[in-house]
Amino acid sequence: MSPREIFALRDYLDPGLTGRTLSDARHSASLTEIAGQTCLKGRLAELSGRSVVLATSNQFLAAIAMLEIDGIARRMLLCPPDLGAGHLQAIIEDAEIDAVVTDQPDRFAASGIALVLIAGEELTAAPRTPTQRATEWLMLTSGTLGMPKIVGHTLEGLTGAIAADAPARGNRPIWATFYDIRRYGGLQIFLRAVIGGGSLVLSEPGEALADHVARLNKSGITHISGTPSHWRKLLMSGAAAGFSPQYVRLSGEIADQAVLDGLRQAFPSASVGHAYASTEAGVGFAVNDGLAGFPASLIGTSRDGVEMKIVDGCLRIRSKRAAHAYVGRRASALTDNEGFVDTGDMVELRGDRYHFVGRRGGIINIGGLKVHPEEIEAVINRHDGVRMSRVRARKSPITGAIVVADVVLADGSDASRRDEIKSRIIADCRASLAPHKVPAMIKFVDKLDITPAGKLARSDA
Amino acid sequence: MSVRLKIVSAIEQIAAEQHVTLPPLEDNLSLHETGFDSLAFAILVARLEDDLGIDPFTISADASFPLTIGDFIKAYENVPA
């Protein structure tokens, strides 16, 4: 029984498209042959109708298992690599998990789940299994505090932006992403590679950036995505020289003009654009004119099944690509009464464009005045001596908090020019920002931490 | 540099950044008359904490904020660094 209208990931694996591969630093598989192979030693049928948690030690195995399980299991929960054991057990209960696919069975010894299937990178031949159902895809939010939320999607919703925004046919793209594919941003790239007939080169945790880029070059990658923090790191490393992707995309954080300009300079022949997406709201829109922010005309109109409005300065999205619900015992409503997802991302209208100014939850309160760290970072980052910055609150007995900035200098910036750069930053902030938003102190640091989800680590967020 | 000199130089630095014209910094000058707002004082206290290693206004919960320049400087001089 393969209902005609239900497409699972397996149904996109066209055996006629040759030369497609899926690889990381240590493994490679043919996406052409994979439809007739199993990483589960042929035990896929046991997962039929089950709620499966997919928890593998690497993305390569996760990718192969996703191709195999989608369309067979009732639910498939993608476990990101940095999920703590305490959270894992609560998530298993919330998602009513009754089967595990893993290469780390010890992690589940005390979970009470009877069916634990071992996945392995050695693929064996198996007959193609017809699609049985539309599997519910469960993803975890990358919230920085407390329990991640479980978000329910369908493959149709997850791939909603792909048909509308398909890469040019003909030369099939070779994709790469700095994201982990078990996160929304990375999953989009995995799905684009599978559905668009391309190949995919995965990132490898702990791999030096120069080695990663060398591997991407060797694989001839053409299309690549990451967060602005990922890209700033790349621009800072010097590894961008000799790297020439055709299609460069940013998402997951605010793409400021400095990072967009930096990428256009580093990759003059590439198409550089940024996209707005979130685990809950799905892919909202893409901006390909090279400018930060997005045209105000996108608000209030419906295009490609996506409608956006602004409520109290915050972006809300109603979309066929959005998740359908939060999952769990204490799950809250995902949308407002009209079906809009409140993204928590705050915007400001400047001229005929909206600009993202920060997260509603990340606001710093300076003596009763509100500050978004991101808007100050955008001003600091436009200095040519600066590669990236992080603005944070420092406690103050007088105003509750003050704004301080940690700044990473661009490579080639002379350390002896620090005082001059500091004065220029302060002067520019004074000219562009309200007085309480001007950093009280600027500290130069060698690097800023990036979270496993690829975002700038904010201790106070 | 003495604690007093460090404090005076930090006040002058912030006044320059904030485009505040300072009157002569005498001990009996009230802090209100310096022209500093609460943000400027917050910046001053934070920078002095980094420079001198102490924040006398956070250490002691019942310390009232000083009223004059002299009291302000004393608050730093009286705390063992």
Nearest CA in chain B to A436: B39
Question: Would you call A112 exposed, middle or buried from its count of C-beta atoms within 10 A (0-12, 13-18, 19+)?
Answer: exposed
Residues of A in contact with B39 (CB under 8 A): 366-367, 399, 402, 435-436, 440
Nearest CA in chain B to A440: B43
User: Is B43 within 8 Å of A402 when comparing Cβ atoms?
Assistant: yes
pLDDT score of A143: 62
d(CA B70, CA A180): 58
Kind of pairing, strands A441-444 and A400-409?
parallel
Q: Which residue has the tokens 């002067």?
A: A427
Residues whose CB falls within 8 Å of the CB of residue A203, separated by 6 or more in sequence, listed in order: A24, A59, A176, A177, A178, A179, A180, A212
DSSP secondary structure of A316-361: EEEETTS-SEEESTTPPPSS-TTS-EEEEEEEEEETTEEEEEEEGG
Exposure string (b/e) for A179-210, b if CB count within 10 Å is 16 or more?
A: bbbbbbbbbbbbbbbbbbbbbbbbbbeeeebe
- Phi, psi for A144 (deg, rounded to 5): -85, -20
Looking at the partner chain, which of A402, A430, A435 has a beta carbon nearest the beta carbon of B46? A402
**pLDDT beyond 80 at B59:** no
Phi-psi map region of A181: left, alpha, beta (phi>0 left; psi -120 to 50 alpha): alpha
C-beta separation of A189 from A177 below 8 A: yes
d(CA A313, CA A345): 8
Residues of B in contact with A430 (CB under 8 A): 17
- What is the amino acid identity at position A51? S
Looking at the partner chain, which of B17, B41, B57 has a beta carbon nearest the beta carbon of A426? B17
Q: Which A residues 321-380 touch B at CB under 8 Å?
A: 366-367
The tokens for A211 are 């080695």
CB proximity A426 to B under 8 Å: yes
Show the beta-strand stretches assigned E in A141-204.
150-154, 174-177, 199-201
CB proximity B46 to A under 8 Å: yes
CB proximity A265 to B under 8 Å: no
**Other beta carbons less than 10 A from residue A387's beta carbon:** 24
Give the distance, in angstroms, between the CA of residue A457 and the centroid of all CA atoms in the same chain.
Answer: 14
CB proximity B65 to A under 8 Å: yes
Q: Which of A365, A366, A394, A398 to mutate to test the interface with B (most CBs of B within 10 A)?
A: A398
- For the segment B29-55, the average pLDDT, to the nearest whole number, is 91
d(CA A225, CA A276): 12
Quick one: which of A445, A386, A444, A382 has its CA closest to A413? A386
CB proximity B42 to A under 8 Å: yes
Give the distance, in angstroms, between the CA of residue A197 and the centroid of all CA atoms in the same chain.
Answer: 21
pLDDT (tens place) for every residue of chain A, 461 residues total: 455 578 999 999 988 888 999 999 999 999 999 999 999 999 999 999 999 999 999 999 999 999 999 999 999 999 998 888 888 999 999 999 999 999 999 999 988 999 999 999 999 999 989 999 999 999 999 765 678 999 999 999 999 998 755 555 567 899 999 999 999 999 999 999 999 999 999 999 889 999 999 999 999 999 999 999 999 989 988 888 889 999 999 999 999 999 999 999 999 999 999 999 999 999 999 999 999 999 999 998 888 899 999 999 999 999 999 999 999 988 999 999 999 999 999 999 999 999 999 999 899 988 888 899 999 999 999 998 899 999 999 988 888 899 999 999 987 777 788 888 998 999 999 999 998 999 999 999 999 998 888 899 986 43
Looking at the partner chain, which of B17, B39, B45 has a beta carbon nearest the beta carbon of A436? B39
d(CA A393, CA A366): 9
Residues of A in contact with B45 (CB under 8 A): 396-398
User: Is B39 within 8 Å of A366 when comparing Cβ atoms?
Assistant: yes
User: Is A402 within 8 Å of B47 when comparing Cβ atoms?
Assistant: no
pLDDT score of A206: 86
Distant-in-sequence contacts of A358-365, Cβ < 8 A, 24+ apart: A358/A254, A359/A461, A360/A314, A361/A461, A362/A458, A362/A460, A362/A461, A364/A391, A364/A392, A364/A393, A364/A401, A364/A403, A364/A460, A365/A393, A365/A400, A365/A401
The radius of gyration of chain B from alpha carbons, rounded to an integer in Å, stands at: 12
Residues of B in contact with A396 (CB under 8 A): 42, 45-46
pLDDT score of A164: 56
Kind of pairing, strands A247-250 and A223-226?
parallel
- For the segment B1-18, the average pLDDT, to the nearest whole number, is 92
Residues of B in contact with A435 (CB under 8 A): 18, 39
The C-alpha of B37 sits at a distance from chain A's nearest C-alpha, in angstroms, of 10
Q: What is the ipTM of this complex?
A: 0.86
* Residues of chain A by 3-state class (helix, strand, coil), percent to 5: 25, 30, 45
Question: Would you call B35 exposed, middle or buried from its count of C-beta atoms within 10 A (0-12, 13-18, 19+)?
Answer: middle
Looking at the partner chain, which of A366, A398, A436 has a beta carbon nearest the beta carbon of B45? A398
CB proximity A171 to B under 8 Å: no
**pLDDT beyond 60 at B5:** yes
The tokens for A229 are 């923090």
Residues of B in contact with A393 (CB under 8 A): none
CB proximity B51 to A under 8 Å: no
Residues whose CB falls within 8 Å of the CB of residue A103, separated by 6 or more in sequence, listed in order: A56, A57, A61, A118, A119, A120
Looking at the partner chain, which of B17, B42, B50 has a beta carbon nearest the beta carbon of A396? B42
Residues whose CB falls within 8 Å of the CB of residue A6, separated by 6 or more in sequence, listed in order: A71, A131, A133, A134
Q: Which of A364, A395, A399 to mutate to test the interface with B (most CBs of B within 10 A)?
A: A399
Residues of A in contact with B79 (CB under 8 A): none
CB proximity A395 to B under 8 Å: yes
pLDDT score of A203: 95
Residues of B in contact with A441 (CB under 8 A): 43, 46-47, 50
Query: Looking at per-residue confidence, does B9 or A4 come out higher?
Result: B9
Q: Which residue has the tokens 């630095």?
A: B13
**pLDDT beyond 90 at B28:** yes
**Other beta carbons less than 10 A from residue A338's beta carbon:** 9
Q: Which helix (H) or strand (E) holds A107?
A: none
Q: Which residue has the tokens 């089950």?
A: A50
CA separation (Å) from A178 to A208, A413, A458? 12, 26, 19
pLDDT score of A1: 47
Looking at the partner chain, which of A396, A435, A436 has a beta carbon nearest the beta carbon of B46? A396
d(CA A77, CA A43): 18
| B80 band by pLDDT with thresholds 50, 70 and 90 | low
| B18 band by pLDDT with thresholds 50, 70 and 90 | confident
Residues whose CB falls within 8 Å of the CB of residue A109, separated by 6 or more in sequence, listed in order: none
